Amino acid sequence: MPAVMPGPSPEPVRIPLVTEPWGILRSLAAARRNVLEILPEISTRQPIVSGKTGKRWHMVMDPPTLRHILKDALDDYPKSVVTKNILRPAIGESLFVAEGAHWHWQRRAAAPVFSMRNIQNLGPFMSHAADRASERLMAANGRAADLFDEMVTTTFEVISDVTFSGDEGFDRASIHKAIDNYIDQTARISLFDILGVPGWVPRPSRLMSSGALKQMKQVADRAIEARAASAADPGKTPDLLDLLLAGEDPETKRRMTTPELRDNLLTFIVAGHETTALTLAWALYLCAFDQSVQARARAQAQDVLQGRTATVSDLSALPYIRQIIDEALRLYPPAAMLSRTAMRADTLCDREVRAGDTVMLPIYALHRNHLLWENPDTFDPDRFSDPKSIDRFAYLPFGAGPRVCIGAGFAIQEAVIILATLLGRFRFTPVQGRDPKPVMILTLRPEGGVWLNVHTV
Ligand code: HEM
C-alpha cells in the first residue's frame, strides 16, 4: 500500500498538554524536560486550575484575576523564589529580582532610561544589526540556515551595543558566552521549587561554577568605571549605560553604585537578548509556515522600504509586520510561565488561596485559552489589526502592572525593524522534517533551532 503523505498541518507546532492526572514523579520528570509539559489541557479551557503536588498551587488564566494579582494586589503576590534563585547569582538584587522598596527606587531611577525618545535614539543600533544579519543571510542564499541562531547573534549585537557602546576593552563575545553557559547550566530547574519538594533532593543545576560569572562581573565593572571617569562625548548617542549613570530616583535622589549599575546592565542583557531573538525566530518560523502571511508582509516591507534597511521612522508604516510580532508573542510567549507566591489568604475565581500557595500564571495557556481566543492554536496576525479589541489582561507577553517589562517598547521596536528588513530582502520556506519543538527552559525555545531555507528576492 502506498504510504499516505501527511498534508500540511493547519496549525503551527505546539506543546502536547497533559490530558490525564499524573503522579508527582512523572510531573517532575516532565518538568525537567520541558516545564510546559506539566500544563494540563484544561488550562486552555478553564479560568483556574488548582492542585497539590507536595505544595498547593493554582494556575490562573482569568483576565480580571490576573489584573488582581499583577496590579491591584501586587504586594500580596511577590515573584516566587524559583526564577529569582536562578537569576540572583548572575544579576544580584537588580530590577528583575528585587522586591519592595529596593525594587521601587530602582524602577523609578530606570524608568526614564526607557522613555520613548531614548529608545528611538537607539534605533540606528537596531538597523545596523538588521543589516549585518542580512549580510550573513545573503551568504546563506539557496541553503538552509538556523534562524534562531542568527537571531541570537543579531539581538546580542544590539543589546551589547546599546549597553556598552564603543567600549573597546569590553569583550562582548566572552560576556555572551558566560551568560549563555550560566543559563544553560542553571535554568533546567524543573519545578522542584514550585512544587515544594524538600531541600535535600539533589538539584544538579545548582552545581555550577561561579568562576565565569565572577570574571564577567569584573569585566563589566571595569567598563562602567572607565565610562564614569571619562568625560561625556557630546556627539555620541547616550546608550543605556550613559542613561543609567545619569539616572536617579526622583523621590530619594539615590543613584546606583557600580555593582548596582552592573547588575542592572547585565539584567538588560539577560532579560533582553534571548527573549527578543525568540520572538523573531518564532515569527520567522510562522512566516515560513504560512506563505500567504509572508507574502503580504513582504509586500508591505518592500513598499515602505524599497530595499532599504528599516529605521525607527518606518515603524508606523509597518503595521502588519507589528501584527506578526504580536501574534508570534501570543503563540510562543518567550516568558511562557510567570510565578508568584501568595503572602496571605485570598479568594481567586471562587477558589480558596492560602498564604504560601504558589500562583502560576501560565502565559502560554492564557494565550491559547478557548474562553478568550477564537481558534487559539491557529496563526492569524489579523487578530491584532485593532489592538483595542484585545483585553489587556488576556495578552501578557510582557506581564502587566507595575512590574511590566521595562524593555517592552525597546523589544518591539527592535523586532519590527529586524523582521521588516529581512522580509523585504528574503523569502523563507520550511525545511521538511525540521519543525522546531517548543520547549520551555526558563524561556520558550525552539528545540533543534528554526531551520529555514533562505532565498533572496
Ligand atoms: C520580546 C522580548 C521580551 C519579553 C517577551 C519580555 C518579557 C518580560 C516579562 C514577562 C516580564 C515580567 C516578569 C514578571 O512579572 O514576572 C519582564 C520583566 C523585565 N524585563 Fe523584559 N521582556 C523582553 C525584553 C526585554 C528587554 C529588551 C529588556 C531590557 C533591555 C527587558 C528587561 C526587563 C526587566 C528589567 C524586567 C523587570 C522589570 C521589573 O520587575 O520592574 N526585557 N520581561
Domain for residue 12, yes or no?
Answer: no
Instruction: Give the CATH number, domain containing residue 159.
Output: 1.10.630.10
Over the stretch 210-226, which tens digit does the pLDDT of each residue have? 666 777 788 788 888 88
- Ligand 1 mean position, distance from CA 291 (Å): 31
pLDDT score for 30: 59
Residue 14 to residues 9, 41, 384, 398, 437, Cα–Cα distance (Å): 11, 12, 20, 20, 7
Domain for residue 301, yes or no?
Answer: yes
CA distance 329 to 381: 11
Q: Let me know: does 142 contact 455? Beta carbons within 8 Å.
A: yes
Query: Does the CB atom of residue 397 touch ligand 1 within 6 A?
Result: yes
The residue segments making up the domain with residue 397 are: 24-456
Nearest CA to 288 out of 384, 385, 147 is that of 147
Element (H, E) at 441: strand 437-441
Q: Let me know: does 267 contact 405? Beta carbons within 8 Å.
A: no
Domain for residue 46, yes or no?
Answer: yes
pLDDT score for 26: 61
pLDDT score for 32: 59
Instruction: Give the count of beta carbons closer than 10 Å to the beta carbon of residue 252.
Output: 12
pTM: 0.92
- Ligand 1 mean position, distance from CA 411 (Å): 9
Which protein residue's CA is at the shortest distance from atom 11 of ligand 1?
Answer: 405
Query: Does the CB atom of residue 407 touch ligand 1 within 6 A?
Result: yes
- Ligand 1 mean position, distance from CA 416 (Å): 17
Query: Does the CB atom of residue 452 touch ligand 1 within 6 A?
Result: no
pLDDT score for 7: 46
**AA letter at 244:** L
Pocket test for ligand 1, best of 405, 406, 410, 416 (most atoms within 8 A of CB): 405
- Ligand 1 mean position, distance from CA 405 (Å): 4
Domain for residue 100, yes or no?
Answer: yes
Query: Does the CB atom of residue 145 touch ligand 1 within 6 A?
Result: no
Domain for residue 10, yes or no?
Answer: no
Domain for residue 6, yes or no?
Answer: no
Ligand 1 atom nearest the C-alpha of 159 is: 30
CA distance 381 to 362: 22
Domain for residue 108, yes or no?
Answer: yes
Which protein residue's CA is at the shortest distance from atom 6 of ligand 1?
Answer: 398
Number of domains in the chain: 1
Domain for residue 19, yes or no?
Answer: no
Name the pairing type of β-strands 346-348 and 443-447: unpaired
CA distance 222 to 228: 10
Query: Does the CB atom of residue 445 touch ligand 1 within 6 A?
Result: no
* Strand, helix or coil for residue 447: strand
Ranges of the chain with pLDDT below 70: 1-9, 20-37, 83, 86, 166-171, 181-212
pLDDT score for 48: 96
* Close Cβ partners of 455 (under 8 Å, ≥ 6 residues apart): 141, 142, 426, 427, 428, 429
pLDDT score for 426: 98
